[in-house]
Amino acid sequence: MKTEDLIDMGNASLFNTYNRGEKLFVSGKGVHIKNNDGETYLDFVSGIATNILGHANETIVAAITDQAGKLMHTSNVFWNQPSIELSHKLVNYSGAGNLSKVFFSNSGAEANEGALKLARKYGKEVHGDDCTKVISLVDSFHGRTMATLSATGQTDMHQDFQPLLPGSVYVRLNDSGALKAAVDDQTCAVLFETIQGEGGINSLSGEFVETLKTLQKDKGILLIIDEVQTGMGRTGTLFSFEQFGFEPDIVTLAKGLGAGYPLGAFMATETVAGHFKPGDHGTTLGGNPLATAVGNAVFDEIFETDLLANVAERSQQLVEGLEKISEEAGGIAEIKGFGLLIGVAFTDKVQAADVLAACYEEKMLVVSAKHNVIRLLPPLNVTEAEIDEALEKFGAAVKKIVK
């Protein structure tokens, strides 16, 4: 069937909640993806930081094939071996700190939803019934369920869905004074990303990090770190919080945890996790044998093939190449981010949307973020040659727009 006919069929039968454009992809391998018309693109979207092992990865394909042939789903009424093994790997990873319990979900929004419920129950039981307020940051993104939308610090996303969940408060990123002022006896937690992805690749400052740590230590405020986009090696360590020196109370994961297969999780310390009792939280499909078998394969691949070292090397190569493009073409205000979560912020004279369209013309896929930023999110196993290919295409796109 022709691409336009398939898209017409989709427009007729699917909700109109995404601006998908005219792209329809049917196959991929590694960092390359092919559309219905046989054209091949360099994929630096990676399912929005999700396909951390690229497309059609043999390890993932084998894990799915093997587990699907044995047992896909049992419900959480019973134990299943893959979920036990994956939870054991996560909590025994050396950088996990005091995180010792895992709850598996199907997505990042569900993971954040569970984390918010846990924080509220902890707050009520430890500090009193009124201790349910959660502070999050302006430009944050935590999901599209009602609770996670309420925690998302983007008012343009809120307007059509009022009233939001009570108890959500927002302060500006890296404004320590505002954060301290927002904390009161009703505050149970601060929810934040170490590096805001959708918000524009905005990182925590050193001063703000220290303020968060002080509030955790002196006020008993829970630190919930949203690692949905930054986790599973994306920034060069398995968890990005390792690079900031945090000992979080709760951490959420998804995206790279299943590397394209729906899988999320939240992790908590023994003390905090203990406030969830049987019946307090649940999911039908979360942590099923098939999803967690994929998670095991992803976790093992990261360490058995030394992907974290590759992230560091390819990140340096990518940033140095982008700096050269900036010098030659102009139009770039800042290059920011960690590891393979890189943002290119453009000057007011250049629109990120135009650069994105020019990249499509160069057969390269990228994704935008707030504040006139383009995100570059290759898989963690991207090669030196593929970074060179990306820099050539991206450079051509930028020069075409800047002129």
List the structure tokens of 335: 């290059």
Is 144 known to sit in a ligand binding site?
yes
CATH topology assigned to domain 71-304: Aspartate Aminotransferase; domain 2 (3.40.640)
Residue given tokens 């135009």 in the structure block: 354
How high is the pLDDT of residue 204?
Answer: 98
Average pLDDT for 384-391: 98
Instruction: For residue 396, give the 3-state DSSP assignment.
Output: helix
Quick check: 212 pLDDT over 90?
A: yes
As a whole-number percent, the residues of the chain with pLDDT over 70 amount to 100
The Cα–Cα gap between 249 and 272 comes to 7
Q: What does the pLDDT look like over 48-70, one tens digit per residue?
A: 999 999 999 999 999 999 999 99
Maximum alpha-carbon separation in the chain: 63
Is 229 known to sit in a ligand binding site?
yes
Higher-confidence residue: 23 or 157? Answer: 157
Quick check: 399 pLDDT over 90?
A: yes
Instruction: For residue 107, give the 3-state DSSP assignment.
Output: coil
Average pLDDT for 237-256: 98
Quick check: 403 pLDDT over 80?
A: no
Domain ranges within the chain, ordered by starting residue: 3-57+306-402, 71-304
Residues ≥6 apart with Cβ < 8 Å to 383: 31, 314
List the structure tokens of 113: 């939803």
pLDDT-based confidence at residue 123 (cuts at 50, 70, 90): very high
Q: What does the pLDDT look like over 290-311, one tens digit per residue?
A: 999 999 999 999 999 999 999 9
Average pLDDT for 71-93: 98
Is 283 known to sit in a ligand binding site?
yes
Closest CA to 359 of 41, 27, 55, 51: 41
Share the mean pLDDT of the chain.
97
Average pLDDT for 120-126: 98
pLDDT-based confidence at residue 104 (cuts at 50, 70, 90): very high
Quick check: 255 pLDDT over 80?
A: yes
Residues ≥6 apart with Cβ < 8 Å to 333: 345, 346, 347, 372
Identify the CATH homologous superfamily for domain 3-57+306-402.
Aspartate Aminotransferase, domain 1 (3.90.1150.10)
Is 226 known to sit in a ligand binding site?
yes
How high is the pLDDT of residue 23?
Answer: 86
Tell how strand 168-171 and strand 133-137 pair up. parallel
Strand-pairing partners, residue 32, are 29, 42
As a whole-number percent, the residues of the chain with pLDDT over 90 amount to 98
What backbone torsions phi and psi does residue 239 show, to the nearest 5 degrees? -115, 135
Is 284 known to sit in a ligand binding site?
yes
Q: Which residues of 47-69 are buried (b: 16+ CB within 10 A; e: fewer)?
A: bebbbbbbbebebbeebbeebee
> HSE on the CB side for 205, CA within 13 Å?
8
How high is the pLDDT of residue 63?
Answer: 98
Instruction: For residue 401, give the 3-state DSSP assignment.
Output: helix
The Cα–Cα gap between 321 and 153 comes to 33
How high is the pLDDT of residue 21?
Answer: 85
Is 216 known to sit in a ligand binding site?
no
Quick check: 317 pLDDT over 90?
A: yes
Closest CA to 55 of 25, 32, 23: 32
How high is the pLDDT of residue 1?
Answer: 85
How high is the pLDDT of residue 265?
Answer: 98
Is 108 known to sit in a ligand binding site?
yes
Start-end of H helices in 2-135:
3-13, 46-49, 58-68, 81-92, 108-127
